[in-house]
Structure 1
């Protein structure tokens, strides 16, 4: 659980109180996905900031909570944790921090750098095993994705902690385990047909064309005029926005993408599974 190694500024705590207060209104009538989308939309305009979790050394990573700025992954993760906190009827910063910690680290246990779930499909699969999320990619019409995952260990210079041989070996072990796992993706040309099956608040990972990498970008599904769009922390836009075009056009317009994967909160989410 979070302790003295918690990085959580007074401004982030203020934002948390505001979001949790807003989230409680109407939470009982909203399903988990609707609540997730509604909470995510409260961050429209929040700035984009890369690498907010990086640059801190130690045998145990501090739990970094940043609600002022996001990259695409920390946005999805933070909003998911907020939705779980509200659905569990919790109101304290400590409760939110504990839920975020469970989402971010393998088996919900925070350790060193390698204990963090760096790959989106690993994050989705681990939280599926914890009973928190569902991988609905196959239900949407997804097909098998037998792709070796090794991007981080192949590019250790992009990840300073991997200069440590032990950390690199642990990440490589996680990559091998992820590669062996049966995973699915929904190809770009199938997204339009699957739109009616995608729900608001679904966690969307944009699958990567790059060798060794599973997902290149992430966001939340929101519906606009009957079409699914992506609510995401966008580097080009400089912050949290909703795509102007529907999801399938957004993905088709990216030459670094091959399709999507999708996760969904398990329902009902009145309480979290026991640790």
Structure 2
């Protein structure tokens, strides 16, 4: 599978591989935010893109998870293919467009542990890709019925956080029935308290930052938690 990667991203990848696994995205801190870096649609052939000069919240998670599976470039590419695409098939239809695809589609990248963390977790039946206002988020792709569990932000307390592990993925629950989450980050337990390591599009950030977790949760309806299998 050909890889679309710039010379600068090749250099960044070499550096990331040299630092080793298990850094939970720390090497990305300060990386500029950039949306729409992937190539592919219902009308445009999918390409396996590695864009490390700028990331959005989902590609950031993709790259961090792929790096955990890699000691060299070939292993990184193979890991990224596994993480980003259902059944490891590079195509727009097989791309994991939704956060919970990591747990719902094969091969499994993570386990949804949301309901195990709190008795206050709420399960909502959604039709992913079908906008509440009508139409599709991703034309050319089917509507995906799925039950999505989330913990309301006012119930996401220290008791919940105490059960998390550094490296767990947290998604900001979406009220719209066509989305599972609106944003994704990595939980990191730091000496200064729990943070959400994330590629933030906020004007004040516009880069990968560590956001104090409880401050962030106050800005969203709730959270979905996935635990990586590796």
Q: TM-score range by the shorter chain?
A: 0.7 to 0.9
Partner of 1:13: 10
Partner of 1:265: 228
Aligned residues: 224
Q: How does 1:1-275 map to 2 (within 5 A)?
A: 2-3=1-2, 6-23=3-20, 35=22, 38-54=23-39, 60-85=45-70, 90-91=71-72, 93-111=73-91, 113-126=92-105, 129-141=106-118, 142-151=121-130, 154-156=134-136, 162=139, 168=140, 171-172=141-142, 175-176=143-144, 179=145, 181-192=146-157, 193-225=159-191, 227-236=193-202, 237-243=205-211, 245=212, 247-252=213-218, 254=219, 257-266=220-229, 269=230
Scaled by the length of structure 2, the TM-score of the pair is 0.87
Q: What is the deviation of 1:59? A: 6.2
Contact 2:40 2:46 (C-alpha < 8 Å) held by counterparts: no
C-alpha distance after superposition, 1:182-211 (max 9, x if no partner): 432122122113010111111111111234
Please identify, of 193-202 and 53-62, the stretch whose mean Cα deviation from structure 2 is larger: 53-62
Structure 1 or 2: more strand by fraction: 2
Q: What is the deviation of 1:103? A: 1.1
Q: What is the deviation of 1:122? A: 1.9
Contact 1:19 1:39 (C-alpha < 8 Å) held by counterparts: no
Structure 1 or 2: more helix by fraction: 1
Q: Which has the higher contact order (CA 8 A, sep 6+)?
A: 1
Contact 1:198 1:228 (C-alpha < 8 Å) held by counterparts: no
CA distance in 2, matches of 1:102, 1:215: 21
| 3-state SS in 2 of match to 1:48 | coil
Contact 1:145 1:183 (C-alpha < 8 Å) held by counterparts: yes
Q: What is the deviation of 1:249? A: 2.8
Q: Which runs of 5+ in 1 are unaligned?
A: 28-34, 163-167, 270-275
Q: What is the deviation of 1:57? A: 7.8
